[in-house]
Amino acid sequence: MKIVSACFVGIHCRYDQRHNALEEIRRLVREGKAIPVCPEQEGGLPTPRNPAEIVGGDGEDVLDGKARVIDNRGNDVTEQFLAGARKALAVAQAVGAKQAILKERSPSCGSCMIYDGTFSGGKKPGVGVTAALLRRHGIEVVSEETMKTESSGDTGEEGSSKG
C-alpha cells in the first residue's frame, strides 16, 4: 500500500484550488493500491489558501524547530504544516504504507526540491515537511518524477505547485 498526494488524484486541494491529476496515480487508487492524502488540508488550512514556502531551511529543519513555514502574506503556518504531516503519517501507518508518492516542490510534499522561501519562483534542494516526517518513520518518499512506473506512460507534469 502507498499513500499519494491527493492533488494527483484530481482532488482540487492545491493552494489555488487546482489539481495535478496523473492517470498513473489515479489508477493506483482505483485498484486499491494507494490512499490519497493532502497534508495541508489535513492540517486545517482552507482551500484556496495563500501559497506558503519554507523559510530558513527545509522540512527537516522545520521538524527540528530551525525553520518556519510562512505564507505570502507573512502568516506563520508552521503548526498547520506540522499537524498535516502528523496526520499523513497516521494515515500511512494505519494502512501499512511502505511508500509515498508525493508532489515535487511542495513545501509539504516535495521530496527532492522545494521553493526557496523567497516567493520569487526560485527552488532549492530540500524536502517538504510531510516528506521529511514520513522518511523519519521509515517510509520511502518518491515524487511523480522519480517513481517507478508500471507502464511507459507519461508520469510527470510540468509546472509548479506550492501545495
Which of 40, 53, 61, 144 is the binder for ligand SF4 (CB under 6 A)? Answer: 40
Output the nine-digit C-alpha cell for 51.
Answer: 501559497
80 binds ligand SF4 (CB under 6 A): no
Binding mask 98-117 for ligand SF4 (x = CB under 6 A): -----x--x-xx--------
Alpha-carbon Rg of the chain, whole angstroms? Answer: 14
**Which one of 38, 52, 133, 141 is in contact with ligand SF4 (CB under 6 A)?**
38
Cα separation of 143 and 135, whole Å?
Answer: 13
Centre a 10 Å sphere on the Cβ of residue 19 and count the other Cβ atoms it contains. 18
- Pick the piece of the chain touching ligand SF4 (CB under 6 A) from 34-42, 52-60, 66-74, 134-142: 34-42
User: How many CB atoms sit inside 10 A of residue 149's CB?
Assistant: 11
Instruction: Return the residue of 13, 25, 52, 89 that touches ligand SF4, per CB under 6 A.
Output: 13
What would the grid cell of residue 6 be?
491527493
Amino acid making up residue 7:
C
- Write out the residues near ligand SF4 by the rule CB under 6 A: 5-7, 13-14, 38-40, 103, 106, 108-109, 161, 163
